[in-house]
């Protein structure tokens, strides 16, 4: 497990996704790929720590309305690229009313499965025909790193970005899932406090924790469905990257040469 950078509060969900082993005889370089929640919520000392990391490019995956409400701190040496990776409001996109969602929460026969499937389906859909991730890989391939990718909470759109980067570099799925689920560890206190503030509700419905984890954390079902669906649609990750993001086998090889530290005896 990657250790937190102690210069950042854990609730910022900030972390380096380097250090994971690749199937291509190396490990992902550290100090190159970072992920987090919105930097607009960072303290002054956290902003300074961000500068110390030498980040050249920030990819902001939030919707324009969120960007206007909480803009990223600007520094002359850092390029900020604002490109929304989402489809808008999840409830509008999937045509679920609050009443329907509430029914999923309190229906004990479902054991939270409908909530999990709803969120996982939305999560998976973001992988396809998404210009934001195409731009992300363009920046990475052009060497505009170190790079920070973020959304509002650093868990869904950012989680997908991290999964895609690690898949492209040949990191095994078990390690990708490990990084994805670190969000629950980083945001644990926040999630537990939300549960406590709901009083009797968690006791009424055993599904409530699943629901809240889906909204405030990361469900393993989302990552599993995301990767399984890619392979079902495209057979291999290589085919997926070429069809969706224009990354040829040569491009993927270049990325691995650029961003993997070779194994040493």
Q: Is 1 a domain residue?
A: no
Pick from 74-83, 161-170, 248-257: least confident: 74-83
Question: What are the structure tokens assigned to 231, written together?
Answer: 């392979």
Q: For 187-200, what is each residue's pLDDT tens digit?
A: 988 888 877 776 55
SS3 content of the chain, % helix, strand, coil (to 5): 55, 10, 35
User: Is the preceding omega at residue 36 within 30 degrees of 0, hence cis?
Assistant: no
* pTM beyond 0.85: yes
Longest dimension (CA), the chain: 59
Cα(229)–Cα(202) distance, rounded to whole angstroms? Answer: 32
Domain interval for residue 227: 10-262
- Residue 96's pLDDT band, with cuts at 50, 70 and 90, is very low
Domain total in the chain = 1
What CATH number corresponds to the domain at position 26?
3.90.190.10
Calculate the dihedral angle through the C-alpha atoms of 56, 58, 182, 68, rounding to the nearest 10 degrees. Answer: 150
Closest CA to 41 of 174, 159, 151: 151
In this structure, what token pair is assigned to residue 134? 């195409």
CA 175 – CA 169 distance, rounded (Å): 12
Q: Is residue 2 part of a domain?
A: no
- As beta bridge partners, residue 199 has none
Counting every residue, how long is the chain?
265
Asked if residue 3 belongs to a domain, the reply is no
Q: Using CA atoms, how far apart are residues 50 and 9, in angstroms rounded to an integer?
A: 12
pLDDT at 17: 98
- The reply to whether 28 falls in a domain is yes
pLDDT at 224 over 50: yes
Q: Minimal CA–CA distance to 157: which of 90, 209, 248, 246?
A: 90
Map tokens 């000392």 to a residue: 45
pLDDT band at 88; cut points 50, 70, 90: low
- Of 107-111, 146-150, 244-248, the range with the lowest mean pLDDT is 107-111
| Enclosing H/E stretch for 131 | helix 131-141
Distance CA 54, CA 34 (A): 11
Torsion sign across C-alpha atoms 25, 29, 30, 35: negative
Q: Is residue 99 scored above 70 in pLDDT?
A: no
Q: Are 259 and 28 in contact (CB under 8 A)?
A: yes
> What is the strand order of the sheet 57-60 is part of?
15-16, 33-36, 147-150, 57-60, 79-82
């Amino acid at each position: 497990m990657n250790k937190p950078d102690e210069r950042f509060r854990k609730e910022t969900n900030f972390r380096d996704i380097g250090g994971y082993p690749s199937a291509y005889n190396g490990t992902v370089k550290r100090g190159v790929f970072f992920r987090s929640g919105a930097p607009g919520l960072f303290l002054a000392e956290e902003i300074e720590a961000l500068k110390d990391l030498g980040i050249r490019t920030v990819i902001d995956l939030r919707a324009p309305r969120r960007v206007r409400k909480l803009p990223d701190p600007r520094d002359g040496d850092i390029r900020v690229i604002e490109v929304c990776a989402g489809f808008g409001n999840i409830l509008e996109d999937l045509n679920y009313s609050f009443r329907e969602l509430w029914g999923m929460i309190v229906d004990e026969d479902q054991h939270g499965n409908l909530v999990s499937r709803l969120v996982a389906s939305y999560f998976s859909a973001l992988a396809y025909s998404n210009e934001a991730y195409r731009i992300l890989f363009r920046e990475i391939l052009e060497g505009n790193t170190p790079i920070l990718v973020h959304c509002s909470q650093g868990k869904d759109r950012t989680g997908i970005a991290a999964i895609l980067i690690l898949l492209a570099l040949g990191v095994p799925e078990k390690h990708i899932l490990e990084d994805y689920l670190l969000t629950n560890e980083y945001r644990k206190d926040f999630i537990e406090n939300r549960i406590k503030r709901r009083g009797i509700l968690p006791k009424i419905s055993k599904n409530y924790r699943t629901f809240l984890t889906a909204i405030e954390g990361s469900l393993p079902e989302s990552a599993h469905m995301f990767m399984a669906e890619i392979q079902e649609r495209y057979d291999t990750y290589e085919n997926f990257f070429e069809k969706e993001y224009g990354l040829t086998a040569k491009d993927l090889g270049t990325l691995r040469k650029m961003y993997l530290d070779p194994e040493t005896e």
